Structure 1
Amino acid sequence: MSDAAAADALPEETDAVRTALIEWYERDHRAFPWRETDDPYAILVCEVMSQQTQLDRVVDAWEAFLDRWPTVDSLADADRADVVGFWSDQRLGYNNRARYLHEAARQVVSAYDGSFPDSPAELEELMGVGPYTANAVASFAFDAGDAVVDTNVKRVLYRAFDVPDDDEAFEATAGRLMPDGRSRVWNNAIMELGGVACEKTPRCDEADCPWREWCHAYRTGDFTAPDVPTQPEFEGSRRQMRGRVVRALGEHGPLDIDTLGHRVRVDYAPDGDRGRAWLRDLLSDLADDGLVDVDDGDDEGRVRLRR
């Protein structure tokens, strides 16, 4: 979708649309603690934690993490096993994100002398920081980002302005709509709109949606939304088992293969389908991710968190 086509998708009163959303957000919005800071380190921690995790669940973990490692320097100096253990204890999922966050902190200290870069392009050079996270940190810490386009924003644009279910169309329309130099308030506001008013089940009137007078869905009653990929079941998943391995090693220290296996699965049987071969395959992935070491000096092997 071209910039001109994006402009055609928007109402003629674009300035009024922008003003209405910002004023709605500034009157009242959910009070998350990371919205009260422009510290790029604290914002990066929040963005990494909130991947695949609801924001209400992130608050306690984020505050506890910053209590323990309050600065990027303190995180860079930490033992990686401690960081991974914290992540597992908080059940934040995908423990390799803890490893990436720790490595990103070391990069900031070693390559940037402890000061975060402020552009999305430079932020994306940090370990585990993709385009969305880089842009979010640039927006919320430095007010220097592009328009954020996440699932909530796509749903808002699709319903409000009848934007096609196409990533290029969403990017172009979001970029055209965001006021210059106001990425911090704008991206917070449009994500808030998707989070409290234009949810899967819309709450247009209850949430006093500021875009009702321009909204295609509100006018037509068609509140369909873009397709969202279904997340795989967590219970019994490889992701869950990886977390159990890390948690067991964090709680009990190094363990031999079979002792670890029985702590990970109640149905663990050394020679069974969910036995040593299965566990070693799981451990191989964790070792490749830099999370564990396996000592094969004896018949069964011994596993420890990597430090």
Structure 2
Amino acid sequence: MSVEDGDWTRPDDLEGVREALIEWYEADHRDYPWRRTEDPYEILVSEVMSQQTQLDRVVEAWQDFLDRWPTTGALAAADRADVVGFWTDHSLGYNNRAKYLHEAARQVEDEYDGEFPETPDELEALMGVGPYTANAVASFAFNEGNAVVDTNVKRVCYRAFDVPDDDSTFEAAANELMPAGRSRVWNNAIMELGGVACEQTPNCEAAGCPWREWCSAYQSGDFTAPDVPTQPSFEGSRRQFRGRVIATLQAYDELEIDTLGHRIRVDYAPDGETGREWLEGLLADLEDDELVEVERRANETVARLHR
């Protein structure tokens, strides 16, 4: 090992490190269907669905989604309420992601004549596509990305090469480790390493980690890693009730607000702590996200899905 600038421990045999990881990945890895495609639309759908959702749960939803809307053109032409309803039915988390994916499909059709942009900077122009997702699509669809840096990659770099817990240093180190022009296989491989070998509880021997020869943590036995953010409890959360509102309104043209309240929680009381004021705040957020519409009439307030 060698240390440069005191920031992280670089391997002397960088080419050996690269080839060892790629050979390990190509010999055996988890066979997710989106790893068998280079279609940017299919990859974007997988990336959006995979945000804070276990990959094994995404597989069926991903295939169902593509069966229903196989192209950006099909998705762009869909009713947004149907797309949001699909998201809720498949328990895919924040419904905003469905709205943004729908809008991104419209952008590809309207602004790019149905052809996906290819670079991370261009992809970031799509609605709801941040730096991580843009880079992932550029890598896996076009082999044009930088190093992907997610929680797994941070854990691997921290343990193997003493990369400090600093986002900019993680990004610089990950890009230095990645071989030029091989972002597709490299990013898949290093995320796989973090997902099956260098987990929170390491699995070095059983997974045949290809970096044991170079890994600082393996040599020292100290497998400390940066804190891994935990998902807030879903049960009883605002996110859960947003989903219940969407799912309930799918079955009705519209519902009076107190009727809706009683349908989404058993302890709903119009004048209570979790009553009308609470529900109006929830609906206001959903209105801002263009997921529902609220109409205030002379004698009642009604809610419906956004059209």
Q: 2: distance between equivalents of 1:299 and 1:218?
A: 69
Alpha carbons 1:6, 1:169 under 8 Å: kept: no
Residue 221 of structure 2 is matched in structure 1 by 221
Alpha carbons 1:9, 1:173 under 8 Å: kept: no
2:11 is the alignment partner of 1:20: no
Alpha carbons 2:9, 2:162 under 8 Å: kept: yes
Alpha carbons 2:269, 2:275 under 8 Å: kept: yes
Q: 1: distance between equivalents of 2:299 and 2:59?
A: 44
2:282 is the alignment partner of 1:282: yes
* Distance apart, 1:7 and its partner CA: 9.1
Alpha carbons 2:8, 2:161 under 8 Å: kept: no
* Distance apart, 1:83 and its partner CA: 0.3
Q: TM-score, normalised by structure 1?
A: 0.97
Q: Residues 110-259 of structure 1 correspond to what in structure 2 (within 5 A)?
A: 110-259=110-259
Residue 67 of structure 2 is matched in structure 1 by 67
Q: Amino acid of the residue matched to residue 213 of structure 1? A: E
Moved more, 33-42 or 244-253: 244-253
* Distance apart, 1:6 and its partner CA: 8.6
* Distance apart, 1:168 and its partner CA: 1.4
Q: Residues 92-103 of structure 1 correspond to what in structure 2 (within 5 A)?
A: 92-103=92-103
Moved more, 231-240 or 146-155: 231-240
Alpha carbons 2:158, 2:165 under 8 Å: kept: yes
Change (3 A) 1:214 1:131: same
Q: 1: distance between equivalents of 2:176 and 2:57?
A: 33
Alpha carbons 2:7, 2:163 under 8 Å: kept: no
Q: 1: distance between equivalents of 2:137 and 2:265?
A: 38
Q: 2: distance between equivalents of 1:288 and 1:169?
A: 36
Q: 2: distance between equivalents of 1:193 and 1:9?
A: 19
Q: 1: distance between equivalents of 2:6 and 2:256?
A: 59
Extract unaligned runs of 5+ from structure 1.
none
Determine helix, strand or coil for the equivalent of 1:199.
coil
Residue 42 of structure 1 is matched in structure 2 by 42
Residue 51 of structure 1 is matched in structure 2 by 51
Structural RMSD (CA): 1.3
Alpha carbons 1:48, 1:97 under 8 Å: kept: yes
* Distance apart, 1:4 and its partner CA: 5.7
Q: 1: distance between equivalents of 2:265 and 2:24?
A: 49
Determine helix, strand or coil for the equivalent of 2:251.
helix
* Distance apart, 1:299 and its partner CA: 2.6
Q: Amino acid of the residue matched to residue 112 of structure 1? A: Y
Q: TM-score, normalised by structure 2?
A: 0.97
Cα deviations by residue, 1:36-69 (Å, 9 ceiling, x for unpaired): 0000000000000000101111001000000000
% identical aligned pairs: 71
Alpha carbons 1:6, 1:176 under 8 Å: kept: no
